[in-house]
Chains A and B, each alone.
Chain A
């Protein structure tokens, strides 16, 4: 626990994680996907996997500030995507363009504080990094029919010509919202909010039922 002071701003950054003896409970913890994965079907048209307990950081800054872009790249090891609706990734770091001055960075859960702190150290001027790891989770949909589940849920066009691998949109998803990224030809990552996760879990089960849903732990 430490307060990090930088020249221009003083912000409170705390390591929010307890030691490993305390188990984190992701937003879909209650669904007990591990048990379903064991007992449920092993083949089907859609596979669902929760990428639980990752570090999620929201970054707000000026995309025209070259120094800040440089600092971000230094911290993340990958340049921020400044082209709208794109993403960049390297290793286990994924950066999603959210809006002209906002990105969502995901890193392994244990690295969130380290990355947050590094931003405070490396970046100067006006910016914001906020740890939002507790408030959202990633659901990965894959398989031949994953695209149909997306089409039932969101009005965006996901044809590969319009939605290539790496593209990101924030859009309505059923009656909630999701940050949708195509992570493979037949693979989509949905960043969903904690409070809506049970609703979306019900929705996704329902929407994929006709194709056969496989849960992966």
Chain B
């Protein structure tokens, strides 16, 4: 049998289903039910990586989320690469390809090992700060080397072919963890009629029971687990989530769960299935039944492969049928870990000794060991380990009663495996996420969840109740408490019977002494992943770091993917001892989300590619696509930018569109303009308060342009509002400003002027808006309507209802091009019909579609501003030369009136919007260019304002621009200079921004 450490029978694996996988290029075999870690151990793989700083060989230590060393790179192809997967949490599947991430170029023959041995000496705690801060410019170089040496995984270089998604969930009770406590809590809550979600990070429910030989309800624990799980699954109000890690516990009982849906099946999700799902849960009550992690002991060379957690060794034996070695030495501070020696012995392999740090261990488990003939060495400790790529022996010595020093002579034992247990640390991580500080509990020698503001209950080992019977009892209680708080009636649930084995008092010991002082002893590792040692923590304390938060940051303890699950308590205890204070006085660092790493795909969900950001389309979008439009993003709208013909450059297309509009007729899809229907007897008054100009006398049938200001007097939006009825107006806004303006109106109405009778409703999407513009636009419209659209019958700035191409429409005679224009509004369900009819009839006039860029050029020729391009929130109407759009005589004030009168707003040298004509008419100034009055001034030259709009005008045969110039309105005809990045200085003359038809004769025809 190639799996030399595999037992012939036992465990929850299926020996009839062998699976082949590849590890570091080598083909190995495991069984269905294995994790990658158990399969590696079955095959006798000792080495899974190299350490971060010292490049020391490392092996598998744990069997769960707390594993610090077996951090794998997964993926059979480039696109399916997944970094930093814990081998202990990855289920084995056929064809799995894994490699160790640490170790460069490979774990067995590590070049960095040599460097590391030298580098390690040069890398004491705080080495980033000490070594790499200066010179700062070198940091990028250091970082590259360190990253590679540090052996963090790598991300794929190709697109991830799998999909991930998110689901929102709601429940009465969210149970985190499906061990004995969680299962009982869920069962109780579910039977009481609550809506329950129960999630567990493992593939099977059961938690500690999966690797235990206990009985529950008189049968094998697994049978009880199966029956409870079955009942939960059958209840339609219960959502059962295996392979689902509750990674974050946020405010207001909002929890995030990372469910791995197919990662146990294949490299790529089969049949396009969702690979991982991110659940966003709102829970009325949360039951944390997260269990506990075993705490290793800190002793010299405790990182040699073969040194493991006692509980993990039992898990591998009982759950996976793998004995990860031949000769075991167990070091423990408690009775609980004796089980590991018994399991090892019962599996037929040799237990060299149980080394118990307590003077007089007693109790049934101790007796059971002695009955099996196992040597129990009381009052002793494993103070050192021999071996480099695998444990070859240990040094054992007697220690003082308080565990602070070695008292006896050192004895050597041969061993290939060292299991250690310093007791159990409750998994308080999720409780910490909500801001709750954990409390030290002397009784259990660990931190338990502290006071919380969340609607949170806890049950089982998280409370320090490490027995199965206690977990079951507390689980039931938590479920019952939740039911009561929810106002649901109590459920009929009996706590199943268990057989309790009495355990005697454990010893509070974290750091095993050595014959040499800590600073001179071989390395005693606290945090494997970051190579933090006991002497490193002492050094940090010696250097003045007394706060545990500072010690953490200085030494990098708890920084890795394992987030200190294994080492933090030991580190705090060592710091406390050194600082001569208690652990509660030293305190603990706080755990933050996420509990374990989450793949970015799950965080992105389906919000990627074409679903990343909604694209908003008008009713005519299909036509635009069919006619080769290039699109521009305006907010989320896709607006046609220009319509190039075959072989045309952008500028050529713009020139053609501009000339066609001025010479015949052009058409623009203006549907994206914000449109707000306003009704009420005070609508007119309201308009007068939110616009800077006057609205009192606008008659029905007329349109008016308005500027909207913020309280500070600065322009924030503009548009034309039309009087549809005495108490009925249609407001238009900029395309990007529609939602902001509606919110603004509602805000002022609801908070400042609720007495005004006025209602607002958005009709942006309801109306399709198309503008025909140019000298032939009237002729075109006449062909499609019976209405009188003559100069006299339908004058400039009027609107009229009429039928266009058979469709009822509101037509507005307003113009943003300065040409004779008609803005046709029809219900959007008929927009494309009217648009196409216009083209049918427009062919003879060479009706030319144009996009936003031509619109920008045409309006700039007329000096019309675009809010957001020619304004930036710092200019008032007078700065824009638009004092004509301000009425200071309105009986009620308007928003911005007082703001505009502030001292700074009335300075004569404010930056003001003017036209700019380059002396060389062929030069188009870059938008954003900064002007100066004196180009010979020493650098930094005083800057006087920037170019806001700049185009080539085909109609004028030259460049045109608008921009801000200090005091510009009084500087007509004067020069301003634009030094460009390429060294050129462009000279321009300040002029009126109205470059074309200053009298407005073209639109008034």
Contacts and interface: CB of A to CB of B under 8 A. Distances in A.
A135 B764 contact: yes
Interface string A1-44: 10100001111101111110111111100100000000000000
B712 interface: no
Given A22-B833, A152-B168, 4 more contacts: A25-B831, A127-B759, A148-B167, A194-B766
Given A18-B808, A210-B273, A128 B677 contact: yes
A89 interface: no
A203 to B, nearest CB: 6
B759 A193 contact: no
Contacts of A151: 167-169
B170 A157 contact: yes
B272 interface: yes
A134 B620 CA distance: 13
A134 B765 contact: yes
A175 interface: yes
Interface in A40-66: 53, 58, 60
A82 interface: no
A21 B680 CA distance: 36
A155 interface: yes
Interface of B: 165-170, 195, 272-274, 280, 282, 606-607, 610-611, 613-619, 621-622, 637, 672, 677, 679-681, 700, 724-728, 757, 759, 761-768, 801, 803, 806-808, 810, 826-833
A17 B827 CA distance: 8
Most buried by A among B282, B611, B759: B759
A37 B828 CA distance: 24
B761 A128 contact: yes
Contact of A128 (B759, B768, B810): B759
A105 to B, nearest CB: 13
Interface of A: 1, 3, 8-12, 14-19, 21-27, 30, 53, 58, 60, 101, 126-128, 130-136, 148, 151-152, 154-157, 159, 161-162, 174-176, 193-196, 198-200, 202-203, 206-207, 209-210
Nearest to B273: A210
A212 to B, nearest CB: 12
B218 to A, nearest CB: 37
A135 B828 contact: yes
Most buried by A among B762, B764, B806, B830: B830
Contacts of B677: 128, 130
18 contacts: A11-B727, A12-B801, A14-B808, A17-B808, A25-B831, A126-B680, A126-B681, A127-B679, A130-B677, A130-B679, A132-B766, A134-B828, A136-B766, A152-B166, A155-B280, A159-B195, A175-B611, A194-B766
Given A24-B829, A174-B611, A11 B725 contact: yes
B827 A30 contact: no
A30 B623 CA distance: 11
A151 B165 CA distance: 11
Given A15-B808, A159-B195, A175-B614, A130 B761 contact: yes
Contacts of A9: 679-681, 725-728
Contact of B611 (A53, A159, A161, A203): A203
Contacts of A162: 170
Contacts of A58: 761
Contacts of A202: 610-611
Q: Which 3 A-B pairs have the closest CB atoms?
A: A135-B765, A135-B766, A134-B828
Given A10-B700, A127-B759, A206-B611, A134 B829 contact: yes
A16 B768 CA distance: 12
A12 to B, nearest CB: 4
A100 to B, nearest CB: 11
Contacts of B757: 126
Contact of B801 (A1, A60, A203, A210): A1
B808 A175 contact: no
B728 A195 contact: no
A198 B765 CA distance: 13
Contacts of B615: 198-199
A11 B282 contact: no
A135 B617 CA distance: 11
Contacts of A132: 761, 763, 765-766
B679 A25 contact: no
Most buried by B among A8, A17, A101, A130: A130
Given A10-B726, A60-B761, A135-B828, A22 B806 contact: yes
